[in-house]
Amino acid sequence: MKKHLVVTVIFNLFVAASFAQIPQPKPAFWEDVQVIKKYDSMFAPPAHPVLFIGSSSIRKWDDAQWTFAEYNALNRGIGGAVTNDIIYYLNDIVFKYQPKQIAIYVGENDLMDKVSTADSVYNRTMKLYQAIRLKMPDVSILYIGMKPSPSREKIMPQEIEFNSRIKTFLATEKNAVFIDVYPLMLDNGKLRPELYLSDKLHMTKLGYAIWESAIKPYLIK
């Protein structure tokens, strides 16, 4: 009996040791966040910035930090991210900077998984909002509504529904503003191809100029 027990213990230890040697998969966008950390170690980020976070529409806003330099802007977007990714990395891309204001654009990618709905993305957005409020109850939040993208016309009805819900919610909140870029990027209800790159998803400078005009009145110096 004792011999059997010893063999079992040794076997379990062997299995545990073997498993420990197997590289564990990294969470999505782990490498991107390590690059951000490395950059921060080389170039100190501004103190208490206006922080831009979210998916590729933020990440590809290459000149945002210069466009909004007078507001001490900092861009920490992650290309391809969905709402749960931003929640996961809040300690790495939000809280450590102690921002005075946070501008958020995320959720459009969520709707492309063929499972998510306006309702489920809204619920994730509530988790994101509440997670930020738990650590930073008074920080100013600018939530940029989903934009209409020519390559994603099929999700436009869901985007409109989502925008309506988040707009209604934020109207009841303190220190929170909904930035409705959706109608600004249409011409009599029709998409404007000149606002987008050849992928019909990411924006040209004309598209970002619309965002700049919509966001700037709400930024804190």
CA dist 113 and 92 (Å) reads 25
Encode pLDDT of 155-213 as tens digits: 999 999 999 999 999 999 999 999 999 999 999 999 999 999 999 999 999 999 999 99
CA dist 13 and 115 (Å) reads 41
Query: Does residue 7 form part of some domain?
Result: no
Number of structural domains found in the chain:
1
pTM above 0.85, yes or no: yes
Query: Does residue 167 form part of some domain?
Result: yes
Query: Does residue 137 form part of some domain?
Result: yes
Query: Does residue 17 form part of some domain?
Result: no
**110 and 159 in contact (C-beta within 8 Å)?**
no
Query: Does residue 14 form part of some domain?
Result: no
Residue 145, helix vs strand vs coil: coil
Q: Please report which helix (H) or strand (E) contains residue 141, including its range.
A: strand 140-144
Domain of residue 88, CATH code: 3.40.50.1110
The domain in which residue 175 lies consists of 32-218
Query: Does residue 87 form part of some domain?
Result: yes
